[in-house]
């Protein structure tokens, strides 16, 4: 099976779109970075290095230090497709981040975006 063309896009080429989408809705680049770090386990320095290196999306996710286990709680529709129903693992990872940025831009509280457990869930 041929790889999706999107896997060859550099993370550096899509990152500004995430920031722009969030900033248009009054959110910040720092919040975008926090969401990305939460999902992937990259430190801020590592994230910046990935952007500077123009790592493709496939490499960005494959090299992620620690994909957050709570990401399976990310549900909903992005680009007309339910993220939890995406079978191809790399595409699902990409869409998880798309969904998180969408939630950020829609004004959702950071604690909810980062799937922080509520008081009863400790």
Predicted confidence (pLDDT) per residue in 76-101, tens digit? 999 899 999 999 999 999 999 999 99
For residue 78, what are the β-bridge partners?
81
Distance from C-alpha of 77 to C-alpha of 3, rounded to nearest angstrom: 22
pLDDT at 4: 83
pLDDT-derived band of residue 121, with 50, 70 and 90 as boundaries? very low
Contacting residues for 48 by C-beta, under 8 A, at least 6 apart: none
Does residue 117 sit within a domain? Answer: no
- Identify the domain containing residue 32 by its residue range: 5-112
Does residue 119 sit within a domain? Answer: no
For residue 81, what are the β-bridge partners?
78
Say how many domains are in the chain.
1
Cα radius of gyration rounded to whole Å, the chain: 14
Segment 1-54, tens digit of pLDDT: 457 889 999 999 999 999 999 999 999 999 999 999 999 999 999 999 999 999
CATH of residue 12: 1.10.8.290
């Amino acid at each position: 099976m041929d790889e999706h063309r999107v896997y060859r896009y550099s993370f550096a080429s899509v990152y500004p779109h995430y920031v722009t989408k969030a900033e248009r809705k009054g959110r910040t680049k720092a919040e975008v970075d926090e969401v990305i770090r939460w999902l992937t386990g990259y430190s801020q320095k590592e994230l910046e290095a990935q952007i500077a290196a123009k790592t493709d999306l496939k490499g960005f996710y494959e090299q992620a230090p620690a994909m957050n286990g709570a990401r399976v709680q990310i549900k909903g529709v992005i680009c007309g497709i339910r993220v939890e129903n995406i079978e191809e693992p790399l595409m699902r990872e990409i869409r998880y981040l798309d969904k998180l940025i969408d939630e950020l831009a829609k004004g959702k509280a950071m604690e909810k975006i980062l799937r922080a457990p509520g008081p009863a869930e400790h």
